[in-house]
Amino acid sequence: MPTTETIIENALDRIVTGYVFPEKTVAIEAAIRGRLTAGAYADLDGPALCAAVTAHLQEVCPDKHLRLLWTDEPQSLDPVDEDGGQAAFLARLRSENQGIRRVEQLEGNIGLIEIRLIASATEGANAIGAAMQLVAHSSALVLDLRGCRGGAPEGAAMWCSYFFPDDQVHLNDIYDRSSDTTRQYWTAAHLPAPRYLDRPVHILTSGDTFSGGEDVSYTLQARGRASVVGETTRGGAHPTARHAVAEHILVTVPTARTINTVTGGNWEGVGVAPDVPVPAEQALETALKALRPGL
C-alpha cells in the first residue's frame, strides 16, 4: 500500500491535469496540501482516508463527482491498464442486467421500467430495446430512476431517443477538457424497439438519483416529454474518469461538462427539481394516480 502522501500526491496530479475547470485546481491543490502538511490525514487509511479527503475536496469545490473512493475490488496500477474506469463500469453493467432492475405491466396498462444504471449505447442497446419492447403497447409509462446512481452519456441519449419521433432532436452537448472539444448528442436514427410517442411518461426521482439518472430526467423534462415526480436529485452533471491511486483507492475526476440545448445549463450542484414534489417513497403512488385517475 502506498503511503498516504503518495496517494494524495497521485490524486492531486490527476485532478490538476484532468479536472474540467482548470481554474479551480489551484485552490483545490492548496487546500488538500495544506491539510496534508497539517497532519489531517496522518492517522487515516482506507475508507476513512477516502471520506476525509472527499469532504475536504468538496469543501473547496462542491462538485459531487470529485471524490476519493475506496473499492473492495483490487485495481491495477499498471499504466497499460489505465482506461478511466471503463472496463470496470462495463463489467458492472453486465453483472447488473445493463442497469435494468425490472419491467412490469401495472394495472390500467401502465408500463414500469426500473433503472439502476444507465448502460452504454453499444453493449446496452439490446437490453434497453428489450425493456422498451415490453412496454411498447402500454398507454403510459413510468421510468423509476429513484435508485439510479449514474452511467454513460451516450446511453442516456439512447434512452431519451425512444421518446422522440426521429433523429432530429439535439439533446445536449458535452465539452471535454482533455481534447478541448465539444461532442453533440442527438436522438438516434435507428433503435432496436419501437419509439414511445404520444403517450405520457412520468419519471420517479429521489435524493439519491445521480449523474446518468439525472441526465435522462433533466433532458426529458427540459423538452417537455416527461413529468418528474419525487425529490430533487443529487446534482452531479460532469462526466467522470476514475483512476487508481492505490490498489483499493480511486480518484474520480470530472473531465467534461454537460450543456443542455434547451436550458443552456445543467443540473450540477442543484439537481433536477421535480414537477410534482413528494417524498421518494410516495412517488410511484402519486404518478399512478395522475396516470389513471379513473381507477
Determine how β-strand 256-260 pairs with β-strand 100-106.
unpaired
- Residue 253 falls within a domain, yes or no? no
Whole-number pLDDT of residue 86: 81
Phi first, then psi, for residue 185 (nearest 5°) are -120, 120
Q: What is the pLDDT of residue 73?
A: 85
Domain boundary (81, 104, 132) is at: 81
In this structure, are 148 and 178 located in the same domain? yes
> Does residue 262 form part of some domain?
no
- 244, part of any domain: no
Whether 287 is in a domain gets the answer: yes
Q: What stretches in the chain show pLDDT beneath 70? A: 80-82, 84, 294-295
Residues 180 and 226 in one domain: yes
Same domain, 170 and 219: yes
Strand stretches in the chain, DSSP E: 67-70, 100-106, 110-115, 140-144, 170-176, 181-186, 201-205, 227-230, 240-246, 249-254, 256-260, 276-277
Sheet holding 181-186, edge to edge: 181-186, 170-176, 256-260
Question: By the 8 A CB rule, do 9 and 15 touch?
Answer: no
Evaluate whether residue 216 is within a structural domain: yes
Question: 287 and 203, same structural domain?
Answer: yes
148 with 22, same domain: the answer is no
Residue 241: inside a domain, yes or no? no
Q: Answer yes or no: do 19 and 139 share one domain.
A: no
For 98, the grid coordinates are 445493463
Q: Is 237 left (phi over 0), alpha (psi -120 to 50) or beta?
A: alpha
Q: DSSP string of 83-138? A: STTHHHHHHHHHHTGGGEEEEEEETTTEEEEEESSB--TTTTHHHHHHHHHHTTT-
- 224 and 116 inside one domain: yes
133-143 pLDDT, tens digit each: 999 999 999 99
**pTM, full prediction:** 0.89
Print the domain residue range for 48: 4-81
- Of 81, 115, 141, the position where a domain reaches its end is 81
Note the pLDDT of residue 81: 62
Q: Do 158 and 281 fall into the same domain?
A: yes
Q: What is the pLDDT of residue 113?
A: 98
Together in a domain, 133 and 279? yes
Answer with the one of 21, 46, 81 that is the final residue of a domain: 81
Give tens-digit pLDDT for 12-43: 999 999 999 999 999 999 999 999 999 999 98
8 and 109: one domain? no
Cell output for 74: 483490487
* Amino acid 74: pLDDT: 86
Residue 100 and residue 74 share a domain: no
- Note whether residue 260 is domain-resident: no
Examine residue 251 and state whether it is found in any structural domain, yes or no.
no
Query: Is the domain of 69 the same as that of 103?
Result: no
| Domain tally, the chain | 2
pLDDT of residue 80: 59
> What CATH number does the domain containing 100 carry?
3.90.226.10
